Amino acid sequence: MKVKKISAANIEPRDLSKLLDKEKIDFQLIQCVNWAEYPYKPKVSFRIAHTKDSVLLHFKVTEASVRAKYGEDNGAVWTDSCVEFFSIPADDGVYYNIECNCIGTILIGAGATRERREHAPEAVTALVKRWSTLGNSPFEERVEDTDWEVSLIIPYAVFFKHQIASLDGKEIHANFYKCGDELQTPHFLSWNPIKIEKPDFHRPDFFGTLEFEPEQNI
């Protein structure tokens, strides 16, 4: 999938949706139900772009219940209504998991395997600008059809195990997910399919490909 380069600075996350509309960035579906024992499929889509210093992500979700128990970064946000971006930004096999619940609380980890993850320090998670249509106050599960959106501006400095100056012209491997491990109806959706027996998002061997557009010389 191609990732468009946008020439914009000082973007606020609440304005990201309008910017991506203006730039005609299409939504992609997160709709792979990889495990038959978890058949529920909420409606989930995302769109992605990049600037000279950040990755821009916008998710849209419609689901039958919603929860945001965690309000502090690096908590167990995957148990809430959660969207996720996993990626390998360099060529050393280290992948990052950036997970965000429906109120913009995030978890960031890095490592080569599921077992050896290093959480990003608070100074790094604080770099991610985020905005949600549900606000930022935690709440228990609401069992009702809910539409929500979250926008993330992820500076390259968030890839804290590397020195990433630019992704222009680079091809990286990544996957996007939607989950809710402790919701009334647990679910585990992915953008790129995961062909294993049990739910596990920490599988870089099933990542898809993102092609980051280079700077356009006019």
Domain ranges of the chain: 2-212
pLDDT at 217: 63
What pLDDT score does 75 carry?
98
pLDDT of residue 183: 98
What pLDDT, on the 0 to 100 scale, is given for residue 218? Answer: 55
Query: Residue 94 in contact with residue 110, Cβ under 8 Å?
Result: yes
- The per-residue pLDDT for range 78-90, each reduced to its tens digit, is 999 999 999 999 9
CATH code given to domain 2-212: 2.60.40.1190
Task: Convert the pLDDT of each residue in 125-150 to its tens digit.
Answer: 999 999 999 999 999 999 999 999 99
- Regions of the chain where pLDDT drops below 50: none
